[in-house]
Amino acid sequence: MPIKPSQNDERSRADPAAPANADQRDEGDRSVENAIGVPASVAASGSLERLVETARDYAAQATAENTNKAYLADWKHFASWCRRRGADPFTPDPQLIGLYITELAAPQDAAPALAVSTIERRLSGLVWTYQQRGEVLDRKDRHIATVLAGIKRAHAKPAVQKEPIAPDELLQMVGTLSFSLRDLRDRAILLIGYAGGFRRSEIVALDVNRDDTIDGKGWIEIEDEGAIVIQQTKTGWKEVAIGRGSSDDSCPVHALAQWLHYAKIDHGPVFRRVLRDNSKVQEDRLSDKHVARLIKKTMLDAGIRSDVPEKDRLALFSGHSLRAGLASYADADERHVQKQLGHASAEMTRRYQRRRDRFRINLTKAAGL
């Protein structure tokens, strides 16, 4: 599969919006931005330019912010790889992509090989970027599909699943928190995240009210019997009902109400940064990385799995441990758990149910053995 030589001059003439040389092409993905512009058949005007900017904002919101960042990083890496080999990254070439993913799986230098899941993610990033430019990269092309199949066969490993947090472990973790502003916030994060079965990005993307912020992905309505969380997902809007707990200490709705009350938040992001001295709640939305750090910290403080070395304990838990915990320990019909997690299939929900009784239906005995 030969690498095609770069055609910088010809590319520049064919696409005036494209950078003039390979170095400029590698400076972020300006090509994706240029995919949305004023049609060539229409005279530019101030109003149309404003519409272009709005269209680009909408296009950016078509995928999650973290996904956009990952795809941009994927494109930068691929463009840099092509530049060093004198290849043109702007024309989707299945042979070139096949060589690229081969390099990712078996680097020729001292770089570590990437996991199969990471290679697939990078391939998705390239497909998406080409699509934004009006180009098509066919993942099913034999130059890509056969190489990827071989990589999977040679290097694929079972997915490493994070440990679910049991209800009693969650209460121990919550018990390590005080009643300072920061800890009131963190208590609400842990309990709401667990009861709602939310991803860490979904937790921090919540607003108090509908349409409070541009970057918000949902809001919360507190009622007498519980709270309704309305969320924007990949497939549309969904509602998640969070009932009140058996006591104030374990109630996610009570914890949320306490945080909003003492933080004096009635508009904008629900979960925000707090000054180190707990004197003031800031306007900035909390990063989703805080959720993962919070879980690890409170898990250590509570002495969870103390028989395991600290390094291994830190690796066992992540933001997904809240979501997996609800799926694994909620004593409810699987259909209700599936709905709460927003899964399209029961099979996906079962992947989260780390502790479910896999032998509840014993086909061996049912067969007469």
Give the pLDDT confidence of 55-64 residue by residue, as tens digits: 777 776 666 6
User: From the CB of residue 293, how many other CB atoms can be counted at a distance below 10 Å?
Assistant: 12
pTM of the model: 0.65
Mean pLDDT for the chain overall = 82
Mean pLDDT along residues 339-357:
61
Burial 189-207 (b: 16+ CB within 10 A, else e): bbbbbbbbbbbbbbbbbbb
Reported as a single tens digit per residue, the pLDDT across 160-193 is: 677 888 999 999 999 999 999 999 999 999 999 9
pLDDT in tens, 21-56: 444 444 444 545 556 666 666 666 667 778 878 877
Taking residues 132-141, report their average pLDDT. Answer: 92
pLDDT interval class at 18 (50, 70, 90): very low
Bridge partners (DSSP) listed for residue 207: 219, 269
Mean pLDDT, range 317-328, rounded to an integer? 84
Tokens representing 160 are 């490493």
What is the structure's pLDDT at 10?
Answer: 39
* Residues 274-285, mean pLDDT to the nearest whole number: 93
- pLDDT by residue (tens digit) across 233-261? 777 888 888 999 999 999 999 999 999 99
Percent of the chain with pLDDT over 90: 51
Task: Locate all alpha helices (DSSP H) within the chain, ordered by sequence.
Answer: 8-14, 22-25, 30-34, 46-60, 65-84, 94-105, 116-132, 142-155, 167-175, 181-196, 200-204, 252-263, 289-301, 310-316, 320-329, 334-341, 346-352, 363-366
User: How confident is the model over 121-131, as a mean pLDDT?
Assistant: 93
| pLDDT tier at 312, thresholds 50, 70, 90 | confident
257 vs 195, residue with greater confidence: 257
What's the pLDDT score for residue 91? 92
Tens of pLDDT, residue by residue over 201-226, are 999 999 999 999 998 999 999 999 99
**Mean pLDDT over residues 279-286, rounded?**
94
For the chain, give the percent of residues with pLDDT over 70.
75
